[in-house]
Amino acid sequence: MITAGDFRNGITFEMDGSVYQVVEFQHVKPGKGAAFVRTKLKNIITGVTVEKTFSPTDKMPKAHIERKDMQYLYNDGQLYYFMDVETYEQVPLGADILGDALKFIKENMVVKFLSFKDKVFGVEPPYFVELEVIHTEPGVKGDTVSGSTKPATVETGAVVRVPLFVNQGDIIRIDTRTGEYMERL
């Protein structure tokens, strides 16, 4: 069991027959009245985000989310196929389950399958990926404004804001949690 007073970002718990993950939380202690916890929760099965207020003493059963390494193999146009790195079993998934993670996954990359009670609800790419820039406008000589960025399309099709010195063909590191450029390699 977990109490609302112990909420932190990323914690998962069961409530009303569904599994929720804490996206944001705020402990509030008003001048008058009892303290409470204001939260933004994401239903991990449906993806719906809700806001809910709890008493710090409210208790919920903690949900155990299983993470399993799977290797992305290929896309047949409709489904994306992954292979269990231990048993070599192939598992097809639809784009609706992959969501935004699809922007940073390329063939042969190892990702984590997220499942609850043997039902896969999402895929987690590695925190950092290295991808090739396939299209970006060339930087203009003398354009050295500090902090300026331009859009760049990487090999998976994702568009990332990069500094002006990044060129087509460069390999860049991207933080998949935020979708931000980290460095040129």
b (16+ CB within 10 A) / e for 155-165: ebebebebbbe
pLDDT at 154: 92
> CA 7, 9, 12, 17 torsion: positive or negative?
positive
pTM of this prediction? 0.70
pLDDT, one tens digit per residue, over 113-164 is 888 888 887 888 888 999 999 998 886 665 566 678 889 999 988 899 998 8
Contacts of 85 (CB under 8 A, 6+ apart): 69, 70, 71, 110
pLDDT at 149: 85
pLDDT at 72: 92
Domain ranges within the chain, ordered by starting residue: 2-60, 66-124, 129-184
pLDDT at 140: 64
Mean pLDDT of 5-13: 84
pLDDT at 31: 84
CATH topology of domain 129-184: OB fold (Dihydrolipoamide Acetyltransferase, E2P) (2.40.50)
pLDDT at 144: 60
CATH 3.30.565.10 fits 66-124, yes or no: no
66-124 with 129-184: one CATH topology? yes
CATH topology of domain 2-60: SH3 type barrels. (2.30.30)
d(CA 12, CA 25): 13
At CB < 8 A and 24+ separation, what contacts does 35-40 make? 37/4, 37/5, 37/7, 39/4, 39/7
